[in-house]
A and B are shown apart, each in its own frame.
Chain A
Amino acid sequence: MKLNPASDPRKITEHIQLVDGFRNFGNHGSHYKEWMHFCVFSKDVNVLVNFSVVQERGRLKPRLTLLIERQELWLGDINPADDAIIKPTQVQFSANNCSLSFENGAFHIFGTIPEKKVTARFRLRPLVPPVQTPSINAGNGNLKWLCVPRCAAEGYVSIDNIIHHFDGAPGYHDHNWGNFEWSGNFSWRWGYFTFGHNLSVIVSRVLDEHGHQVISDSFIVSQDGNLNDFRGHKVTHLQRGLFQKSGSLTVPPITALAIKPNNVSIAREYEVIAADQENRLTLTYSPSSLATIGMPSGERGTHISTISELGCSASLTGTLRGININCTGTGILEITGRG
């Protein structure tokens, strides 16, 4: 399916303002979770910033996740943002240690983890309109999400007082919300990959908790403002070998004591083929760095879920809209698991 792009910045802005605000907290129900996720890929560093709210013990708990990948190592942490003011229906999250807003056609993002000496401050301008996807059956609930497949970032990250600037670096945004438990019968493998300044791919595969049964497949390509979206049987996944990495980051650090080693099976190389009558693309990606996020699942008990964030090198080959593609790039792969 080819989606109709609206690359006019004014239309993109109106579209974002219409669909991308925080949902209405007055009516969130049990096990509610919502987060806004941003990635930037530059020559020296890759950046992941996540503004989240999770309902815990009857109240919504805001958090900042700031992870930075540099030289195949991740830095950063998750910190509470208890003083956050979040405006329903708007992209607005404001706390002492972080802030997010959408103004003048761009997301304005700030986050700092002083204990780890990392700070990110950048502007992320959407280059394509948001893509709204069908809700995902997340075991005992539903997860809804939309994404902006291609953005341009200007700003910087600071690591140990060393500044890394980016100017027009490729970026990505998604927004997720829903009522579900991490311990539900689902898992996902999701990745965002960027190839130069014109081409990016989002791959999403949702499975049952054991990874045996596929619930949904999606492969979205953004090229020069055009979007192609492959779903279901048009997407094929293969994987080879086993990824092993010592010295990976776990956040919050104390959860490392409770997560079993190698709790998630990560392949050395993944291959995803997306094909329809007109197009055929092969995406190959290989993880090179790992950060694990440990999350208590549920307010009581002992269950822990994990999200593995993996820095990857990637290649994309094939034919898209009659154009031959053969390029290399970088990306972030995300795999959920049981701790």
Chain B
Amino acid sequence: MVKLLQPFLQDAISTMRIENFEAFRKMSRCSAPFSASIQNSTEIFTMTFTQQEVLFNLPGATDLQVQLREHVVEDLMSNRTSLLRALRKNEIVAIGSIDALARLNEAFSTFVRGAIRCPSLPALLHNYQNQGTGGSRREKV
């Protein structure tokens, strides 16, 4: 079973909105208006950042298209690779303007900084990282 990124991101962003609204608002404001499509081996979805919220799968063109190689998200979460290294090795391919890439990077960094404070995040990460493994390894933040 393949790990599904979109449900994890939706849950994590909803959690951050409840448990760390200050970070959620900062993430929305620093990137909006902005949209990106995310594609991995099993999913294609879009994220649209507005001043108030993050919406998934709105129709229409996006500012940035991001393609993720298998395992790159897990490698990033466990610090086996960095964003820069993943981009250089084409494990992440981003198509769009430099401005759009900078906005996504800022939104992503703000998301991580906000999410790691959320008491519910360890359980969400645990669920994401153990999708399809049947294992019980527990990551913490």
Contact = CB atoms under 8 A, between A and B. Distances in A.
A and B interact: yes
Interface of A: 57, 79-80, 115, 250, 252-258, 261, 296, 298-304, 339
A256 B79 contact: yes
B61 interface: no
Interface of B: 20-23, 26, 76-79, 82-84, 108-110, 112-114, 116-117, 119, 125, 137, 139-141
A301 B83 contact: no
Given A79-B140, A296-B113, A301-B22, A257 B78 contact: no
A256 B116 CA distance: 11
A257 B76 CA distance: 7
B116 A258 contact: yes
Contacts of A250: 79
Contacts of A252: 116, 140-141
Given A115-B137, A302-B26, A258 B113 contact: yes
21 contacts: A80-B140, A250-B79, A252-B140, A253-B77, A254-B77, A254-B79, A254-B116, A254-B141, A255-B141, A256-B82, A257-B79, A258-B112, A258-B116, A261-B82, A261-B84, A296-B117, A299-B117, A300-B20, A300-B23, A301-B20, A302-B110
B66 to A, nearest CB: 15
Contact of B22 (A80, A255, A300, A339): A300
Contacts of A256: 79, 82
Contact of A304 (B108, B113, B137): B113
Given A115-B137, A296-B113, A304-B113, A257 B23 contact: no
A300 B22 CA distance: 7
A303 B76 CA distance: 20
Contacts of B20: 300-301
Contacts of B23: 300-302
A300 to B, nearest CB: 5
Specify which of A57, A80, A301, A302 lies most central, judged by the most chain B CB atoms within 10 Å of its CB: A302
A315 B110 CA distance: 42
A296 B116 contact: yes
Contacts of B110: 302
Given A257-B108, A257-B112, 7 more contacts: A252-B140, A253-B77, A254-B77, A298-B117, A299-B117, A300-B117, A302-B110
A304 B115 CA distance: 12
B78 A303 contact: no
Contacts of B26: 301-302
B111 to A, nearest CB: 9
Contacts of B84: 261
Contacts of B114: 301-302
A43 B38 CA distance: 49
A339 B79 CA distance: 16
Contacts of A298: 117
Contacts of A303: 113
Contacts of A255: 112, 116, 141
Nearest to B116: A296
Contacts of B76: 257
Contact of B109 (A57, A258, A300, A301): A258
A137 B21 CA distance: 31
Nearest to A57: B119
B80 to A, nearest CB: 8
Nearest to A260: B109
B86 to A, nearest CB: 11
Contacts of B21: 300
A252 to B, nearest CB: 5
Nearest to A78: B140
Contacts of A304: 113
Nearest to B115: A254
Nearest to A253: B79
A302 B79 contact: no
Given A261-B84, A300-B23, A302-B23, A253 B78 contact: yes
Contact of A257 (B22, B109, B140): B109
